[in-house]
Amino acid sequence: MELKDYTKKIIESALNKAGISFSDYIIEEPKNPEFGDLSSNIAMTLAKTLKKAPRTIAEELIKSFEFDNNIIEEVSIAGQGFINFKFSKKIYPLLLSSVIEEKENYGKNNSGEGKRVNVEYVSVNPTGLLHLGHGRNACIGDTIANLYKWNGWDVTREYYFNNAGNQMKNLALSIYARYRQQLGETDFPFPEDGYHGEYIKTIAAEIIEKYGSQYQNGTDDDLNFIRKFGENWCFDKIKATLKRLNIKQDVFFNEDSLYHDGKIDKLIADLKRLDLVYEKDGALWLALSKMGLKDDRVIVKSSGEPTYRLPDIAYHRDKFERGFDLLIDIFGADHIATIPDVLAAIKYLGFDSSKVRVLIHQFVTLTENGEQVKMSKRTGKSYTLDDLLDEVGEDVVRFFLIMRGISTHLEFDLGLAREQSEKNPVFYLQYAHARICSVLDLAKERGINLDRKPNLSILENNYEIDLIKKILKFKETVTTACDKCEPQILADYLRELANAFHIFYHECRILGVEEELQTARLNLALATKITLKNGLSILGINAPERM
RNA sequence: GCGCCAGUAGCUCAGUUGGAUAGAGCAUCAGCCUUCUAAGCUGAGGGUCACAGGUUCGAAUCCUGUCUGGCGUACCA
């Protein structure tokens, strides 16, 4: 935000004049607006090193502040030594015209220009359907990818999957058992740790429908066919669900390719060369204890099969070698165990592991009227992401799954989500947008020309100024939400923005007032609409023109 | 046992990396539509920030310990 930069320069130049080099302070909006528009704790943080009372430091600093009186109205000292800045009300409307000029680009910045980030999310193996937790992962990942895009980064959205190994065998055997059962052998044994979902029965039924009983002998070829059929079936469903959420990933990275391309062999060779692995009990162990971790782990089992750690390390190395400046992994809480191992290995292979940012989100529970919901009422089976989408719609799902901080458990209130009313926070935002569109339409009908250069400085009552301030905070919000990788920050901001608009709308008549004011207020509404729409698009949510 | 995450209003959650009187939504109660969408707005009540110590000008925030819940802690992924 430009005003914050301006304030920072004032402080910095005062520090320079005093010959002090110091940056351990913040400039922030005080919670209580009576304290001004921006506030700094510089005098208090300096107190420690200068060994002077905060208030005297503040007084001395203020004496050498140089600023434009048209921008800053008042600088004052308060409390234990806060320096408060109060801006002229006139400055805000002037900043509004750039919002309207930038339109769909308002809020973007180029701080990430020339940098490449890889965001890996969803990454569900094709052995089943997406559930709520996957949905949270998907929505967080997609929103974070959008945020990086808005901050000027070159973004690659990636999905990592494994279509080999035990779990796929298990999928094949599970389908095969259902297949035999549906062909008449009702007591055909189901594998003990098989996939119990109803979808397995659906897949079996489809195989019967298309191919009859030709795979019932269960030869290797038969099982291979069934495995591939099941994999494709699951992947198609997963992709279809993601498409409903408007999520489209750029790269689907198959773990298997790491083997075909020799990257696994190369990794083992390199680890051997670095003396970071050893053999014991017929297995190959990764010497994590040499890398500062507690326990060594097996990376190749005595059977010759690798454990998941090995390809995970090779995969991260591959991402580094593809030249990304930042790697973001989004995992559910159950995947936490492998992370320190992968990062340690990556570091000892000579890569900068601080470029890997791992985001762990906690689980989602579905509730209704305070009770936990496990089954879908419609299907009577466990709730899939698709069931939820059918029930409450894409916008609500996307919003609800990002509206809490990543690291907290998320309670998805089905009753609230289903509610098409003011209680539902999504509709609150969308309603503000639709309301603006309706006013703008009406203005158009009445032949009001918005393009004529508006005199925005006529906007000066508190409702107008508060709304303008909120609109201007959007840029900073996009940056903060991205830096912290917290989509929730943006969701909260949009609610505040919509609230500021609703208040303005309630208090200030837009159409039918004196012409100059009408034009100015219409432009304010337009700027709000632009900001709301841009923010919603980052969250992947529609901004309806009518509700 | 050990590791990670969490514990803030009746419920669901924020709290800008240590700042000023701890906030919001929902729920409850009381108001506001002859005028641009009432899916809106206004007001009220509601708190031992899990507990106990410590660090300092100043702690919901940092440190130590305790308690509670979730997730991990495989030659599963």
What does the pLDDT look like over A67-97, one tens digit per residue? 898 889 989 888 778 899 999 888 888 889 9
pLDDT at residue A135 tops 50: yes
CA–C1' gap, A408 and B7, in angstroms: 11
Q: Protein contacts on strand B: list nucleotides below 7 Å from a Cβ.
A: 3-7, 11-17, 19-27, 35-42, 57-58, 69-77
The whole-number Å distance from A91's CA to B49's C1' is 38
Helix, strand, coil abundance in chain A, percent, nearest 5: 55, 15, 35
Can you tell me the distance from the alpha carbon of A48 to that of A83, in angstroms, rounded to the nearest whole number?
A: 17
What span, in angstroms and rounded, lies between the C-alpha atoms of A93 and A140? 34
**Mean pLDDT value of segment A381-392:** 90
| Beta strands A283-286 and A297-300, pairing class | antiparallel
Rg (CA), chain A: 29
Residue that wins the pLDDT comparison between A423 and A68: A68
Nearest residue: Cα versus C1' of B33:
A506
- Using the CA of A504, which nucleotide's C1' is the nearest one? B41
Instruction: Provide mean pLDDT across the span A482-487.
Output: 94
| Tokens representing residue A153 in the block | 């980064």
Do A229 and A235 form a contact (C-beta atoms < 8 A)? no
Residue nearest to nucleotide B4 (CA to C1'): A336
Arithmetic mean of pLDDT over chain A: 91
Average pLDDT of the segment spanning A14-41? 83
**What CATH number labels A93-111+423-539?**
1.10.730.10
Rounded distance between C-alpha atoms, residue A195 and residue A20, angstroms:
66
The CA–C1' separation of A327 and B28, in angstroms, is: 48
Report strand pairing: A116-120 vs A27-28. unpaired
Q: Give the whole-number percent of chain A exceeding pLDDT 90.
A: 68
Q: How far is the CA of A532 from the C1' of B36 (A)?
A: 19
**Computed from CA positions of residues A189, A192, A193, A195, in that sequence, does the dihedral angle turn out positive or negative?**
positive
Model confidence at A46, pLDDT cuts 50, 70, 90, reads confident
Give me the numbers of helices (H) and strands (E) for chain A, helices first please.
20, 15
Mean local confidence (pLDDT), A163-172: 89
Answer for the pair A72, A87: CB distance below 8 angstroms, yes or no: yes
pLDDT of residue A1: 47
Q: What is the pLDDT of residue A451?
A: 72
Residue A255: nearest nucleotide (C-alpha to C1'): B77
Say which nucleotide is closest to residue A310, CA to C1' distance. B77
Domain boundaries, chain A: 3-88, 93-111+423-539, 116-161+248-361, 166-244
- Find the nucleotide nearest A422 (Cα to C1′): B39
Q: Report the CATH fold assignment for A116-161+248-361.
A: Rossmann fold (3.40.50)
CB A341 within 8 A of CB A297: yes
| Span CA (A424) to C1' (B29), Å | 21
Interval A226-244: pLDDT, tens: 999 999 999 999 999 999 9
Distance of A127 CA from B2 C1′ (whole Å):
32
| Minimum CA–C1' distance nucleotide for A166 | B76
Tens digits of residue pLDDT in A18-30: 888 877 788 888 8
Cα end-to-end distance, chain A, whole Å: 33
Domain A3-88: CATH class, spelled out: alpha beta
Residue A376 clears pLDDT 80, i.e. is over it: no
Q: A130: alpha, beta or left, given left = phi > 0 and alpha = psi -120 to 50?
A: beta
Nucleotide nearest to A78 (CA to C1'): B20
Residues 6+ positions from A24 with CB-CB distance below 8 Å: A45
A141, A119 contact by CB (below 8 A): yes
Distance CA A121, CA A137 (A): 6
Closest nucleotide over all strands to A280 (CA to C1')? B75
Give the residue nearest to nucleotide B24 (CA to C1').
A492
The Cβ of residue A8 has, within 10 Å, a number of other Cβ atoms equal to 15
Q: How far is the CA of A197 from the C1' of B60 (A)?
A: 44
For residue A142, pLDDT beyond 50:
yes
Share of chain A above pLDDT 70, in %: 99
Q: Give the range with max mean pLDDT: A21-35, A42-56, A239-253, A360-374.
A: A239-253
Cβ-contact A540, A142 below 8 angstroms:
yes
Rounded CA-CA distance A377/A387 in Å is: 10
Distance A502 CA to B30 C1' (A): 21
In this complex, the nucleotide whose C1' atom is nearest to the CA atom of residue A26 is B16
Q: What sign has the CA pseudo-torsion A129, A132, A135, A136?
A: negative
For strand A38-40 and strand A82-87, is the pairing parallel, antiparallel, or unpaired? antiparallel
Taking only the tens place, the pLDDT of each residue in A510-521 is: 999 999 999 999
List the single protein residue with the shortest CA to C1' distance from B20. A79
pLDDT category at A272 given cuts 50, 70, 90 is very high
* A264 CA vs B77 C1’ separation (Å): 17
Q: Taking residues A132-144, report their average pLDDT.
A: 95
- What's the CA A35/C1' B55 distance, rounded, in angstroms? 29
Task: Dump pLDDT digits (tens) for A434-479.
Answer: 999 999 999 999 988 877 788 999 998 999 999 999 999 999 999 9
Q: How far is the CA of A248 from the C1' of B33 (A)?
A: 45
